[in-house]
Amino acid sequence: MPFEISDFTVSPLTDSTFVKPVRLHYTQNGNKRSWEAVKCHDAVSILLYHEEKDALLLVKQFRPPVHMNHPEHTHTYELCAGIVDKKASLEQIAKDEILEECGYDVDLDKILKIGSFYTNVGVAGSKQTLYYARINESVKVSNGGGVHNEEIFLKYIPVNQAKEFMADESRAKTPGLMFAFYWFLAEIYSSRK
C-alpha cells in the first residue's frame, strides 16, 4: 500500500491540546537549574496475542515526531495503546483502545496487567501501564483502524518471527513493544514448550 508524506514543516508550538511545553526551575544540591519538559497524559498499552494465528498483533501508524527526526521512517510499529484522558479505570481504557484500534471486544476480566513504567523521562516522564490480552476471531467485531482521523493499520507478527522482528532495526519500534515481546516470550510462550 503506497504511503506518501509531503510538505513536512516544523513550527514553534504556541497553543496545544495534548502536550504543554514548560520550563522547570529547581534547586539540586544547592545549584539552581532549569529543564525543558512537556506535560502530557499517561497512557496504557496492550500486547495482544492472537490464538488462532499464533501471532502478536501490532498497530502500524505514521508518527510525525519520528519522521521529523528520522525521515526514512514513515511508520512505527507499536502496541495497541491510548492516552489516559477520561475518567475510567485503566483496564476500561485498555479495553476501549483494543476495540477502537484493533476491532476486538475483549472482556475486562481477560485483560491482564503486566506492569507500569515511565517513558520519555528526559522530556515528559509520563507513566505507561502495560497489559496483555488473548484474542481470537470470536471476539472480532470490526476492522479497527482507530477513530476520528486516525489511520491505524494492523500487523500480525507470527510468534516464531518475534525475535527476528525485534532485531530488525529497519522497523521503527518503541521500547514498550520490545519489553512486551520479551515478557511474552519469557512468561507466556516459554511455558507452552
> Can you give the C-alpha Rg of the chain in angstroms?
18
In a domain, 9, yes or no: no
pLDDT digits (tens, 9 = 90+) for 54-75: 999 999 999 989 998 999 998 9
Q: Is 61 within the bounds of a domain?
A: yes
Q: Is 16 among the domain residues?
A: no
In a domain, 130, yes or no: yes
Question: Where in the sequence is the domain holding 102, given as residue range(s)?
Answer: 41-192
CATH code where residue 64 lies: 3.90.79.10
Within a domain: residue 48?
Answer: yes
CB distance 76 to 173 below 8 Å: yes
Per residue in 95-125, pLDDT (tens digit) is 999 999 999 999 999 999 999 999 989 888 8
Q: The pTM is what? A: 0.88
* Total domains, the chain: 1
111 and 133 Cβ atoms separated by less than 8 Å: yes
On whether residue 20 sits in a domain, the answer given is no
